[in-house]
Structures are given as C-alpha cells and as structure tokens.
A and B are shown apart, each in its own frame.
Chain A
Amino acid sequence: MELVLFSVTAIVALIGAVAMLISKNAVHSALFLLLNFGAIAVLYLLLQAPFLFAVQLIVYAGAIIVLFLFVVMLLGAERDEDEASNLRWQTPVALVMAALLVGEVIYLLMTPATQTVGEQAQSFASPTQIAQSLFSTHLFPFEVAAFVLLTALIGVVTLHQRRS
C-alpha cells in the first residue's frame, strides 16, 4: 500500500518536473512546478513530516508559485526565448552531463540497500517536537533566519525605490 502510494506520487513528481523543463510557456512551467511541489508535499507526509507538509504547501505552493506567476504575467514574458540561442553546443553537453549524473546515481543505488524508510516510530517529528527543538537547540539559526527575511524585505524595497 505504502509502496503504491510512493510510486504514484513519485511518478507524478517526475512528470511535473519534466513537463516544467520542456514546456515552452512560462505560465505552464510554473503550474507544472506547482504539481511537482504538491507531489513532494505528499511524500513528506509519507515520511512522517506533517509540519513540513504544511510548510511546503503554504510557502512553496502558496507563496513562491504565486510570486512566479505574478512576475511572469507582470512582465508578459511567457515566451521569451523564441530566438535561437547563440550557444548551440550547450544542449548536447548538458544532456551528456545529466546522463553522467544519473549514471552515477544508478551506480550508487546498485550497492545493496539495507536501510528502509517506514514507520519505526509513530511521531518523532510532530509539530510539538519540532518547535521544542527549534526554540531551544536551534534558537540562534532561527533568529538568523528572521534576519535573512528582514534583509530580503529591505533589499526588495530598496531595489524598487524610484530614484528622485
């Protein structure tokens, strides 16, 4: 049952990613990316990470995809790479390098796998436990993350200020 769920979700995620890669229209690409993010969120649920499931849906599927769609439609840049690239040799080189990467992964996965992912513990990562760890052990990175977000906010506002 779990394996079936994993297989279906993995196939959906891969289809979303490949369709994002080959889709000519940037809006379609963003929507396929949304499909991929949703599938990955389901995988988080399978991996017993309910908190990250919610964060994935809110931040990635909600905020980031909306931001992408907003910018694509604002710029009207749906089809902005029609003219032929002047670096044609890049395509075969990129495909060869991707094939090498996949080959390495397959080679690594050929080694006998003993570990499995499953339901050893019921809830090792409930939102309560994540919060306890986040606000005690990882309090300093948490504050730094807040600072990073503030910096991004100030940066965006500064970039778009009209120079008088």
Chain B
Amino acid sequence: MIPTAMYIGLSALLFTIGVLGVLLRRSALMVFMSVELMLNSANLALVTFANQWQSVDAQIMVFFVITVAAAEVAVGLALLVMIFRQKRTTNIDTMTSLKG
C-alpha cells in the first residue's frame, strides 16, 4: 500500500520540472517537451485519484487529455517548422511578432 500523497508528490515534482523547463529553456522545441511533461504529471495525478476512488471516469479524462496532447503536438510542431523556415531558428526570444 502506497500513500496517495507519494504519487501526488511525484506528480507535483514532475510538474515543477516542466514549469522550470518552460521558464528556463529558450528553444521552442524544449518548451514543447516541457509542456508534454506537465501534461503527463497531471495525468499521473488523475490516474492516482481514479485508483483511490475506484472510479473509471478519471481514466477516461486521461484518455481525452492524451488525445488533445497528440493533436496539440502535431499542430505545434507544424507551426514550429513554418517559423523555422522563415527565421532559421527555434529560439523563442526571436519570435516577437504575430505577423507571419
């Protein structure tokens, strides 16, 4: 038997590392990867609660989160490739204008 708090603690630590990645790294690719890490830590918390309350609903929520994450990565990386074609870099400090 593992206390729920340990799973939630692990999830929170992973989320914090993801936040640090978004704040510290300058490459848009790394920011994307950190966002994926944060989504995963949230999923871990949801699955933990699903187990604690013996309910299947939270796991279905995780299923939808994974679906949306896949769509988000596809669109995001497509945008990144387009930006790279114009600016020849993925550094987010250079992406200062909305106009393409």
Which A residues are within 8 Å of any B CB, using their own CB? Answer: 2-3, 6, 10, 13-14, 17-18, 20-21, 26, 29-30, 33, 36-37, 40, 43-44, 46-49, 51-52, 55-56, 59-60, 63-64, 67-68, 71-72, 74-75, 77, 80-81, 83, 85-87, 90-91, 93-95, 97-98, 101-102, 105-106, 109, 113, 115-118, 120-121, 124-125, 129-130, 133-134, 137-138, 141, 145, 148-149, 151-153, 155-156, 159-160
Q: Cβ of B25: which chain A residues have Cβ within 8 Å of it?
A: 21, 81
B5 near A102 with CB under 8 A, answer no
Number of A-B contacts (CB under 8 A): 230
Range of interface residues on chain B?
35 or more
For residue A132, which residue of chain B has the nearest CB?
Answer: B56
Q: Cβ of B74: which chain A residues have Cβ within 8 Å of it?
A: 67, 152-153, 156
A97 near B23 with CB under 8 A, answer yes
Q: Which of B2, B9, B27, B55 contacts A117 (CB 8 A)?
A: B2
- Given A55-B66, A86-B93, the answer on whether A117 and B13 have CB atoms closer than 8 Å is no
| Majority secondary structure, A binding face | helix
- Contact string against A for B residues 1-36, beta-carbon threshold 8 Å, 1 for contact and 0 otherwise: 111111111101111111111011111011011101
- Contact string against A for B residues 53-65, beta-carbon threshold 8 Å, 1 for contact and 0 otherwise: 0111101101110
